Amino acid sequence: MKTNSGNVVLGLLAGAAIGAGFGILYAPEKGSKTRRMIKRKAIDASNDLTHRINEAKEQLTQSATKKREAFENRLEDSLSQMSYKADDIIVGLEHKLEDLRKKNAQLQK
């Protein structure tokens, strides 16, 4: 989720509150009709906010999944490379051990 999403939500709520206030003050309609209109606008704003939150959750979930998969792939590659290096080290040490055995055998004679 973007870092300014909290500011967007706050701005959206503040705009809705200011709009509702001006609507009440300058409404040419009856009070009951104005209240219904405000209620409908509040429901619409709530639905819009819910929709935006669900979209943000989905984007965050997708991003987290992609990053997890990338991390797992890098980890698997690193472990594979380490395994090959460990095998190379073991082979090198076995050769050195064989050389030491040969030298020791010569010294024993």
- Residue carrying the six token digits 């705009």: 15
For the chain, domain boundaries: 5-108
Q: What is the pLDDT of residue 38?
A: 77
pTM value is 0.48
What span, in angstroms and rounded, lies between the C-alpha atoms of 3 and 64?
16
- Residue carrying the six token digits 């690193």: 78
Q: What is the pLDDT of residue 37?
A: 79
Contacts of 45 (CB under 8 A, 6+ apart): 12, 13, 16
All residue ranges of the chain with pLDDT < 50 are 1
What span, in angstroms and rounded, lies between the C-alpha atoms of 81 and 98?
26
What span, in angstroms and rounded, lies between the C-alpha atoms of 58 and 24?
36
Q: What is the pLDDT of residue 30?
A: 74
Query: How many C-beta atoms surround the C-beta of residue 109 within 10 A?
Result: 4
